């Protein structure tokens, strides 16, 4: 059947996708801190849900921090290491159905690339990302679960945590009164866990959004695509949407964003043999 598999082996989650004759097959993921176990388990799960055998796999293209643990052909299938930056870019463009964009991959940290189908260029990376949300939430809220943090943030109010433009001025031309003047600059004694969770997520993703907008301006594009499992957090999307109004950019959250880099790996033309 000549299926090309894209395997994104992360620190805690491994995503598996596949293309057959340019058709994207059913995608899946597994959670494991052991990259070898995750890779083998993820590929087996992928083949099961798509009714495939090893004989159907033409090539496996890997990326992600865990891919370095795979040092030989995977279960006898030709296995190569895809360029991670190209995988980030191509995956974001494919899911968004656009020709060029800044693609922001938010995982434990954050990576930003410019991609236009012809080439991909790494712009910058940051240690601010999902790991920052977990670390701050662990210390401030004594919680280290993304779903719970996200649910808390949905019920919180930034007005009890952040200093807003409306707190310091009646009006600032070009800025919404609800725009942030200072993250955590107005923490109330009555601030609840929900408010603090909202403030943590807002601070992290406003930092990421600022870098993304600057990257877009640098590369003369208005399209900014956000990918990664962390983008399922609703408050993160809400915080980032504000940048579209402030800076005239197109903020895009593609469906199935968690599989973006795995898709890009499968589509990648830049790879090295093991």
- Phi, psi at 129, each rounded to 5°: -175, -150
What is the chain's mean pLDDT, rounded? 93
d(CA 31, CA 106): 17
Residue 274 domain-assigned?
A: no
Question: Do 50 and 161 belong to one domain?
Answer: no
Spell out the residues 6+ positions from residue 151 whose beta carbon is closer than 8 angstroms to its own: none
Q: Determine, yes or no, domain membership for 46.
A: yes
Into how many domains does the chain fold? 2
| Contact of 157 with 238, CB cutoff 8 Å | no
CATH number at residue 122: 3.30.420.40
Asked whether residue 172 falls in the same domain as residue 238, the answer is: yes
Domain that holds residue 244: 89-257
User: What is residue 235's predicted lDDT score, i.e. its pLDDT?
Assistant: 95
Among 53, 82, 111, which residue terminates a domain? 82
Structure confidence at residue 270 (pLDDT): 84
Whether 60 and 98 share a structural domain = no
Residue 272 falls inside a structural domain: no
180: DSSP letter: E
* DSSP codes of every residue in 198-260: HHHHHHHHHHHHHHHHHHHHHTT--EEEEESGGGG-HHHHHHHHHHHHHH--EEE--TTGGGH
In a domain, 271, yes or no: no
pLDDT score at 44:
95
Residues 131 and 248 in one domain: yes
56 and 114 both lie in a single domain: no
Is 267 within a domain? Answer: no
Q: Is the pLDDT of residue 226 over 80?
A: yes
Judged against a pLDDT cut of 80, whether residue 138 lies above it is answered with yes
pLDDT of 157-186, one tens digit each? Answer: 999 999 988 888 877 776 777 788 899 999
Same domain for 70 and 204: no
pLDDT of 61 higher than 90: yes
Q: How far apart are CA 243 and CA 254, in angstroms?
A: 17
């Amino acid at each position: 059947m000549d299926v090309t598999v894209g395997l994104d082996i992360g620190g805690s989650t491994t995503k598996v996708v596949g293309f057959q004759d340019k058709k994207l097959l059913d995608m899946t993921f597994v959670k494991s801190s052991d990259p070898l176990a995750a890779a083998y388990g993820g590929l087996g799960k992928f083949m099961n849900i798509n009714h495939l055998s090893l004989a159907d796999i033409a090539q496996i293209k890997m990326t992600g921090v865990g891919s370095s643990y795979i040092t030989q052909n995977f279960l006898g299938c030709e296995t190569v290491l895809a360029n991670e930056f190209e995988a980030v870019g191509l995956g974001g463009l494919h899911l968004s159905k656009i020709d060029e964009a800044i693609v922001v991959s938010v995982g434990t940290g954050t990576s930003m690339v410019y991609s236009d189908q012809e080439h991909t260029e790494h712009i910058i990376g940051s240690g601010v990302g999902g790991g920052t949300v977990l670390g701050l939430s662990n210390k401030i809220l004594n919680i280290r679960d993304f779903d719970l943090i996200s649910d808390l943030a949905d019920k919180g109010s930034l007005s009890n945590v952040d200093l807003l433009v409306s707190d310091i001025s009646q009006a600032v031309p070009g800025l919404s009164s609800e725009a942030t003047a200072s993250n955590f600059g107005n923490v109330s004694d009555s601030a609840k866990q929900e408010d603090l969770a909202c403030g943590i997520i807002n601070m992290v993703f406003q930092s990421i959004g600022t870098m993304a907008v600057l990257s877009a301006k640098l590369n003369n594009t208005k399209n900014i695509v956000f990918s990664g499992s962390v983008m399922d957090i609703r408050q993160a999307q809400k915080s980032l949407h504000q940048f579209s109004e402030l800076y005239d950019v197109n903020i895009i959250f593609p469906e199935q964003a968690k599989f973006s880099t795995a898709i890009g790996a499968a589509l990648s033309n830049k790879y090295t043999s093991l």
